[in-house]
Chain A
Amino acid sequence: MFNRIYAIAKKEVRELKRDKRMLLVLFGFPVFLLIVFGYAVNFDIYHIKTAVYDQDQSTLSRNFVSSLTSSKYFDLEGYVKDESKIQSLLDTRKAMCVIVFPKDFSKQFYSKQAVKIQILIDGVDANTASQVKGYLTAAVASYSQKIQAEVLAVERQNTYTPVDIHPAFWFNPELNSTVFLIPGLIVMILIITAVISISLSVVREKERGTIEHINVSPLSTLEMLIGKIIPYAIISLSIAAFILFAGFILFGTTVKGSFLLLFISTLIFLFASLMLGIIVSSVANNQQVAYQLAALTTLLPSTLLSGFIFPIESMPVFLQWITNLTPAKFFLVILRDIMLKGVGISAFWDQLVYLIIFALVLLSLSILIIKRQNAAQ
Chain B
Amino acid sequence: MNSIEVQDLTKKFGDFTSVNHISFTVRKGEIFGFLGANGAGKSTTIRMLCGILEPTDGDALVGGFSVMNDPDSVKKKIGYMSQRFSLYNDLTVEENINFFGSVYGLYGKSLTERKKWVLDIANLYGKEKLLTDSLPGGIKQRLALGTAVIHHPSIVFLDEPTSGVDPISRRSFWDLINDLSAEEITVFVTTHYLEEAEYCNTISLINAGKIIASGSPKELKTNYLKSTILEIECESVVTAMEILEKENFVDETSIFGNHIHISVNDKYKNEEQIKNILTNQNSIAVKSIDKIVPTLEDVFIHLLEKPES
Contacts and interface: CB of A to CB of B under 8 A. Distances in A.
A7 interface: yes
Given A18-B90, A213-B82, A377 B103 contact: no
Given A11-B91, A213-B100, 7 more contacts: A8-B103, A11-B99, A209-B84, A213-B148, A218-B75, A219-B103, A377-B53
Interface in B24-55: 47, 50-54
Contacts of A212: 80, 82, 84, 86
B50 A11 contact: no
Contacts of A15: 88, 90-91
Contacts of B86: 209-210, 212-213
A218 B99 contact: no
Interface string A200-232: 000000001110111111111000000000000
Interface string B95-119: 1001110111101000000000000
Interface of B: 13, 47, 50-54, 72, 75-76, 78, 80-82, 84-91, 95, 98-100, 102-105, 107, 131, 148, 157
Nearest to A15: B90
Given A11-B95, A15-B88, A375-B53, A218 B107 contact: no
Nearest to A220: B72
A224 B53 CA distance: 18
B107 A208 contact: no
A4 interface: yes
8 contacts: A3-B102, A3-B105, A8-B103, A212-B82, A212-B84, A213-B100, A216-B157, A377-B47
Interface string A364-377: 00000000001111
Nearest to A16: B90
A216 B50 contact: yes
A216 B75 contact: yes
A313 interface: no
Given A6-B102, A212-B82, A218 B88 contact: no
Contacts of A14: 90-91, 95
Nearest to A219: B103
Contacts of B88: 11, 15, 208, 210
A42 B270 CA distance: 97
A19 interface: yes
B72 A216 contact: no
Nearest to A208: B89
A219 B76 CA distance: 9
A335 B60 CA distance: 55
Given A4-B103, A14-B91, A210-B87, A375 B75 contact: no
Contact of A218 (B47, B76, B131, B157): B76
A6 B107 CA distance: 12
Interface residues of A, number: 27
B102 A215 contact: no
B89 to A, nearest CB: 7
Nearest to B13: A376
Contacts of B103: 4, 7-8, 214, 217-219
A213 B145 CA distance: 11
Contacts of B91: 11, 14-15
Contacts of A374: 52-53
A218 B105 contact: yes
B107 A3 contact: yes
A364 to B, nearest CB: 20
B95 A216 contact: no
A7 B96 CA distance: 11
A368 B95 CA distance: 31
B19 to A, nearest CB: 13
B91 to A, nearest CB: 6
A218 B104 contact: yes
Given A7-B102, A218-B76, A19 B52 contact: no
A4 B151 CA distance: 14
Interface string A100-134: 00000000000000000000000000000000000
A376 B14 CA distance: 9
Contacts of B53: 374-375, 377
B80 A213 contact: yes
A201 to B, nearest CB: 12
A213 B76 CA distance: 13
A5 to B, nearest CB: 10
A34 B105 CA distance: 44
Contacts of A219: 103
Nearest to B107: A3
Contacts of B75: 216-218
Contacts of A3: 102, 105, 107
Nearest to B91: A14
Nearest to A217: B103
Contacts of A213: 80-82, 86-87, 100, 148
Nearest to A212: B82
